[in-house]
Amino acid sequence: MNRLQKMVATALLAVPACVWAQQSEGAQAPAAAPAAATTAAPAPQVDATSYVIGPEDGLLVTVWKEPQLSGAFPVRPDGMISMVLIGDVKAAGLTPLQLGQRISELLKKYVQDPSVSVVVTSVASQRIFVIGEISHVGPLQLTAGMTPLQAIAAAGGLTPFANKKHIYILRGQQKIPFNYKAALKGDDKQMIALHPGDTIVVQ
């Protein structure tokens, strides 16, 4: 057993049993994590240089030639992930590329020239929802600058019974009106930038 393996073993003993089981599962079969994610839905296509990680996103962290440090890591509601040796690492607010660089810096105490890659396997933080008289009700992945008109199109469009003048965006306790017909005519007032967690209600 080399020095790194001894350190990993010692760190694992100090981790609570539930976390140990999660990390051990990722270490034993790191390739199984993306397979599990893709069983339910295709892996999201995100730009590692621009996508900002958020709470409840799923990540696959791979440390080259160090399988015991690699695995699948969910981002906790506080924006952190927990890794062997380096403990809690803030992930929310960083891009996958930035997070990989941060983990590399922290691992330099234990691994010589660590090479770390981070892949987003599930997107749960950047979502909006569409409900009501729309073809496909449910969550949608929010892309940068997405407008209500784009979101409605992505959800398959309105049903024949939709009131195109009575649509609103629910943002917390705030109701933001949206006029579908005016948006189709290019009304700049309808070019509303959606936020994560927004719900478009089509009456």
pLDDT at 11: 57
Domains in the chain: how many in total? 2
Q: Which domain holds residue 170?
A: 127-202
pLDDT at 142: 85
CB 191 within 8 A of CB 169: no
CATH classification at residue 112? 3.30.1950.10
Q: Hey, how many other C-beta atoms are within 10 angstroms of the C-beta on 190?
A: 19
Q: At 7, phi and psi to the nearest 5?
A: -65, -40
Are both 114 and 140 inside the same structural domain? no
Are both 107 and 174 inside the same structural domain? no
Q: Hey, how many other C-beta atoms are within 10 angstroms of the C-beta on 187?
A: 11
Q: Please provide the distance, in angstroms rounded to a whole number, between the alpha carbons at the two ends of the chain.
A: 65
Whose CA is closest to 10, among 66, 72, 85? Answer: 85
Domain's final residue, options 90, 122, 154: 122
Taking only the tens place, the pLDDT of each residue in 115-172 is 999 999 988 888 899 999 999 999 998 887 899 999 999 999 999 999 988 899 999 8
Tell me the pLDDT band of 36, cut-offs 50, 70 and 90.
very low
